[in-house]
Amino acid sequence: MVPERPVKQSEVKSKGLIAVFTGNGKGKTTASLGLVFRALGHGQRVCVIQFIKGRWKYGELETAGKFSDLLDFHVMGRGFTWKSDDLEKDKQVAREAWDFARGVIEENNHSMVILDELTYLPYYKIIEEKKILDVLKDKPREMHVVITGRYASEELMALADLVTEMKEVKHPYQSGVKAQKGFEF
């Protein structure tokens, strides 16, 4: 919401923000990784937790290893899709990832925590959204938490300080161009 009048410098406050990148367009994870690199540039500790992505090799993981003193990067999913070989196992792994994420937030050892593709857990009824919202409401005051994924709920967006919706306008896959190394992964 845009303030009706300019905010005076004496009124500016600082706090850990909750950001949500949602929508059907590409770029949600990429936007969160941009914030990761910004925080790392200021010497801040960051934790990235990926709930859905599987163990396949992609560029983010290669880069993450170069910042191991400040960046904790956890790929905790099995590649959860409609083509899963064991949907119940995917759900169990996602619940375990949420328990881990909740612990990371409560431990308060990071300036920023990225919860990549978290929105799918309440959407597919893997985790009750109230549990997620309660943890976010009680997060450490100075910690930034970034949530990505399609289907962000109205409640999550209302709680967030920043919400950006990625809208697909055009995608190379529609022209028969497959995902490319260095761009999509």
Q: Token pair 């881990």 is at which residue?
A: 100
Q: Which of 24, 81, 108, 109 is catalytic?
A: 24
From the list 21, 22, 29, 91, the catalytic residue is 29
Amino acid letter at 140?
P
Helices (H), the chain: 28-41, 59-64, 87-107, 120-123, 129-137, 154-159
- Domain assignment present for residue 184? The answer is no
User: Is 29 an annotated catalytic residue?
Assistant: yes
Span 146-168, mean pLDDT? 97
Q: How many CB atoms lie within 10 A of CB 92?
A: 13
Residue with tokens 């400040």: 70
Q: Which domain holds residue 23?
A: 15-166
Q: Is residue 89 part of a domain?
A: yes
Give pTM, 2 decimals.
0.88
| Cα angle 2-12-104, degrees, rounded to a multiple of 5 | 95
As a whole number, mean pLDDT of residues 5-16 equals: 73
On the 0-12 / 13-18 / 19+ scale of CB atoms within 10 A, 63 is middle
> Is-catalytic flag, 117?
yes
CATH number for the domain that contains residue 125? 3.40.50.300
Residue 123 forms part of a structural domain: yes
pLDDT over threshold 60, residue 54: yes
Active-site choice (28, 53, 78, 91):
28
Q: How far apart are CA 27 and CA 69, in angstroms?
A: 26
Per the annotation, the verdict on 30 as an active-site residue is yes
What pLDDT sits at residue 121?
94
Give domain status of residue 2, yes or no.
no
pLDDT band at 53 (very low <50, low <70, confident <90, very high): confident
Annotation says 13 is catalytic? no
Average pLDDT over residues 48-56: 81
Mean pLDDT of 68-87: 80
CB 127 within 8 A of CB 100: no
Number of domains in the chain: 1
Is 182 inside any structural domain? no
148 is catalytic: no
Catalytic residue among 80, 98, 119, 148: 80
Residue 42 scores a pLDDT above 80: yes
Region of residue 25 (phi > 0: left; psi between -120 and 50: alpha; otherwise: beta): beta
Would you give the distance in Å from CA 32 to the centre of its chain? 6
Q: Which two tokens stand for residue 49?
A: 């937790």
Distance (Å, whole) CA 32 – CA 37 = 9
Residue 108 annotated among the catalytic residues of the structure: no
Question: What are the CA-CA distances from residue 53 to residues 3, 75, 78 (Å)?
Answer: 38, 7, 6
